[in-house]
Structure 1
Amino acid sequence: MSQSEPTPDAPRPPPLYSPARVRELLDRHGLKPTKSLGQNFLIDGNILRAIAEAGGAAPGVPVLEVGPGLGVLTGEVAARGARVTALEKDERLRPVLAETLAGLDVTVVWGDALDFDYAALEPGTHVIANLPYYITGVLLSRFMNAPAIASATVLVQKEVGQRLTARPGEDNYGFLSALAALHGSVRHVRDVPKGAFLPAPDVTSAVMRLDFDRQRALPAPELLRFIEAALHHRRKTLRNNLRLAGHAGDAIDAALARTELRPDVRAEDVPLAALEALARELGVVR
């Protein structure tokens, strides 16, 4: 990955808060949004300010952004005094970001966010980002497992936001819900309509804030694999899912009895603490 250093003395261009300004910028650089990279540029000033505020952008705060695009959210965060590191894959945007981020304390790291070493971040880093929708789940998992990241305030598909906040027994509960609960807490900040983007995406979005409890030990990989298998077919019985994962029926029945779970309980209805207890009973974790 390569880096671009900040250029603190260059004049600041006006913010990109209108479709006409964004189209003019793209046309001038001969660019069009790339669907395969999930490029839907957020241009609503009120929402951009709300994301920066909810994410904790403030003087001296280290912030990581994934997919700065045209640098609109980046500029809003950096203008509040945050020290921003932005990961961008699309090399075509080099001249655009040189223009839109001029005069701000932003370091652009050029390369794939999936190859970035999140363990090397400064402790207390806050993620503030409009995540590429096609790799949202993978990136959230990387953030959760990076001890230096204190929180992630991210724009995601509304459906993903509902999964993040769902509890056992609710329609949207699944492995992502359990993963978020294992690492900390989640709150819904606000929904974002399609018209706030250029081009407009096919789905409604939501701003979510995840706060990671770094006083907890990271969950063991064996536990995560167990919970993922248990919730893989969440409407099936937990017993059937564990059989599909390779556990013996007799052992499952005995473990269910010891944890006071019904033999026919559905995976989506089981509290996270009960799944952890079941993993211990089955010898998956100690």
Structure 2
Amino acid sequence: MTEDAPAPLYSPRTVRDLMQRHGIRATKSLGQNFLVDGNVLRSIADAGGAASGVSVLEVGPGLGVLTREVAERGAHVVTLEKDERLRPVLAETLAGLDVEVVWGDALKFDYDRLPDGTRVIANLPYYISTALLSKFMASARIVSATVLVQREVAERLAAKPGEDAYGFMSALAALHGRVRIVRDVPKGAFIPAPDVTSSVVRLDFTGFEDSGQKPDARLIRLMEAALHHRRKTMRNNLRMAGFDAGAVEQALETVGLRADVRAEDVALRDMHRFAQALGVLA
């Protein structure tokens, strides 16, 4: 009689056994929801381009389920983990794989230490997902990020000017490249189940309209100020941020925008022209 094959690492039975043997409870304050759906796991790795020789950054490996899937495809993985309780778990689940675990806060990590061409593939802690995405976009080392986030965040990232979900993160993502929502992920794909539906989203940092250039920091600051308060006019937002009201009105007129326009309705090309007319950009 043949023995049953061991359950895969992502199976609910294996995950519960790991948590029980190591005395682990998912910590809500750290955004811990462990993935237990093999189809979702493979779709993240596929969409992220995990393959032999690829450098991958992961944030929040948890029990190492996604980490192992990516490393077993031949990628070299650097994974950032803050929760020291997971040391013995990851020592077990990642044994023998090309994985470097860096213990500490991902928001304080030096992303310049990564090799050029790094791809992020991660189930991000939801409570810091937008802060992390901003860091990924800013890094010259990272070329793409395929991440599991709250569906609301994915929709904001992919939104276009004039759409309800459009805001500063939408503009920031578009200025850095392209965004594609890969798939939705139900609550039941995790232990414990989160309160919301999640989505896999891929961001390619190819520059605005594939220019290959990082956006000017001055334009980013202007966009952040212009979009700071939704439903307020761009003129009022910028005035509140310290810009001269007369100069703003003149720049709006110069580029053919209404005086009462809201920044969430302005195309990025027009915003760039406005920044030039205002003297923010040359």
Pick the TM interval, shorter chain: over 0.9
Aligned equivalents of 2:273 and 2:239: distance in 1?
A: 17
Q: Which amino acid aligns with 2:145?
A: A
CA distance in 1, matches of 2:42, 2:11: 15
Tell me if structure 1 keeps the 8 A contact 2:7–2:14.
no
Which amino acid in 1 is paired with 2:199? A
Aligned equivalent of 1:87:
80
1:25 CA drift (Å): 0.8
Q: Secondary structure at the match of 1:188?
A: strand
Q: Does 1:241 align with 2:234?
A: no
Q: Per-residue displacement from partner, 1:19-61 (whole Å, max 9, x unpaired)?
A: 2221111111111111111000011001000000000000111
Aligned to 1:27: 20
Instruction: Decide whether the 8 Å contact of 2:59 with 2:123 is kept in 1.
Output: yes
**Identity score, percent:** 69
Q: How far apart are the structure 2 equivalents of 1:14 and 1:74?
A: 17
Alpha-carbon distance, 1:68 to partner: 0.3
Q: Distance in 2 between matches of 1:104 and 1:216?
A: 33
Give, in whole Å, the separation in 2 of the partners of 1:29 and 1:241. Answer: 51
More displaced stretch, 20-29 vs 62-71: 20-29
Match of 1:280 among 257, 266, 276: 276
Q: Which amino acid aligns with 2:206?
A: D
- TM-score normalized by the length of structure 2: 0.94
Counterpart position of 2:159: 166
> Is the contact between residue 7 and residue 13 of structure 2 (CA under 8 Å) also seen in structure 1?
no
Which position in structure 2 is the counterpart of 1:106?
99
The one-letter code of the counterpart of 2:98 is D
What is the identity, as a one-letter code, of the residue corresponding to 2:229?
H
Alignment: residue pair count? 274
Distance 1:285 1:43 in 2: 48
Aligned partner of 2:47: which letter?
A
Instruction: Report the AA paired with residue 272 of structure 1.
Output: L
Aligned match for 1:232, one of 208, 218, 228: 228
Corresponding residue SS for 1:84: strand
The alignment partner of 1:246 has SS state of: coil
* 1:133 Cα offset (Å): 0.6
In 1, distance between residues paired with 2:66 and 2:251? 49
Post-superposition offset of 1:216: 3.0
Name the amino acid aligned to 1:166: A
- From 131, 147, 150, the equivalent of 1:157 is 150
Q: Which residue of 1 aligns with 2:3?
A: none
Question: What SS is found at the alignment partner of 1:210?
Answer: strand
AA in 1 matched with 2:21: R
CA-CA distance at 1:14 after TM superposition? 5.0
Whichever residue aligns with residue 259 of structure 1, its letter is V
The letter for the 2-side match of 1:48 is: L
CA distance in 2: counterparts of 1:255 and 1:235, whole angstroms: 20
2: CA distance, partners of 1:189 / 1:144: 19
The answer for unaligned runs of 5 or more in structure 2 is: 1-5
Give the Å deviation of 1:285: 2.1
**Contact residue 80 and residue 103 of structure 2 kept, 8 A:** yes
Q: Residue 220 of structure 1: CA displacement?
A: 2.3
Question: In the TM superposition, what is the alpha-carbon distance from 1:221 to its structure 2 partner?
Answer: 2.1
The answer (yes or no) to whether the contact 2:154–2:181 under 8 Å persists in 1 is: yes
Once residues 213 and 181 of structure 2 are traced to their aligned partners in structure 1, the CA distance between those partners, rounded to angstroms, is 25
Give 1:1-286 correspondences, 5 Å limit: 14-213=7-206, 216-286=212-282
Q: How far apart, CA to CA, are the structure 1 residues paired with 2:125 and 2:8?
A: 22
- 1:243 positional shift: 1.3
Q: Displacement of 1:138 after TM fit?
A: 0.9
- In 2, Cα distance between equivalents of 1:123 and 1:153: 17
Structure 2 CA distance, aligned partners of 1:28 and 1:249?
63
CA distance in 2, matches of 1:50, 1:274: 36
Of the two structures, which has the highest relative contact order with CA contacts closer than 8 Å and spacing of 6 or more? 1
Q: Please, what TM-score do these two structures have when normalized by structure 1?
A: 0.93
